[in-house]
Amino acid sequence: MVIPVIVLILYAVYKSRGWHLILVVSFVFILGVAILFNMTDFLETGFQRLRPGNNPEIAHFIRTVQKRSSYSFISGHASNSMACAYFLFRVLRPYLKYMGFIFIWPLVFAYSRIYLGLHYPGDILMGYVWGLITASLMLLLYRYLRDKWFPEKEALDHPTNSEPISDR
C-alpha cells in the first residue's frame, strides 16, 4: 500500500515538473530508507530490548497478536514512516495541496505496532525522533544534490510559482 502511494505522489510531480528533480528526490529517498533500515537494525541489536510480548516480566499482562524474535528499541516502522513522510512533506508540499495527510501514515504504523504488542510507546517515540533526524539529513543532501546537478532548474521545494499544482 505504501509503495503505490509514493509512486503516485512522485508521478504527480513528474507530470508537472519533469524527471530531473524526481530523479534527485528518488535517489535521496531510497538512500535514506536504506540507511534507516541499517541503523535501526544496528540500534536494535545494540540495545537488545525485548519486545513487550517476549518480556517475561509483563508477557502475562498483555495479549499479543503477533510475536517476533527480534528486538524492540527503536521501532523501524516508526522511524521509516516518519522519515519518509517528513521528507516528502517538506519537498512536495508546495505542489500537492493536501500533503499534510501523509502524516496519517506514521500514526497508523505506530498504532499497529503497539496494538500488535511489538513495541512500547517509547520505542515509537524514539523511532519518530530518529526518523526526523534522518529526514533532516536527507533534506540537506537533496538540496545539495539538486543545486549541484540542476542549478538552472526551478527548485522543487521552492517554486517561483507560489501556486500549488493542485490549484492549477
The reply to whether 164 falls in a domain is no
Residue with cell 499544482: 165
The reply to whether 166 falls in a domain is no
Interhelix angle 2-17/76-92, nearest 10 degrees: 20
The reply to whether 165 falls in a domain is no
Domain of 141 in residue numbering reads as 2-159
Alpha carbon of residue 43 to chain centroid: 17
Half-sphere CA count of 99, side-chain side, radius 13 A: 23
The reply to whether 91 falls in a domain is yes
d(CA 79, CA 56): 26
Report the phi/psi class of residue 63: left, alpha or beta, with left for phi > 0 and alpha for psi in -120 to 50: beta
d(CA 75, CA 71): 9
Asked whether the predicted pLDDT for residue 136 surpasses 80, the reply is yes
**Count of positions (residues) in the chain:** 168
Total structural domains within the chain: 1
pLDDT on residue 155: 52
The reply to whether 24 falls in a domain is yes
The reply to whether 152 falls in a domain is yes
The reply to whether 167 falls in a domain is no
Q: 24-48: per-residue pLDDT in tens?
A: 888 888 898 899 888 888 888 888 8
Asked whether the predicted pLDDT for residue 99 surpasses 90, the reply is no
Residue 33: exposure state from Cβ atoms within 10 A (0-12, 13-18, ≥19): middle
The reply to whether 7 falls in a domain is yes
Asked whether the predicted pLDDT for residue 135 surpasses 90, the reply is yes
Alpha carbon of residue 42 to chain centroid: 18
Asked whether the predicted pLDDT for residue 69 surpasses 50, the reply is yes
Supply the pTM of this predicted model.
0.76
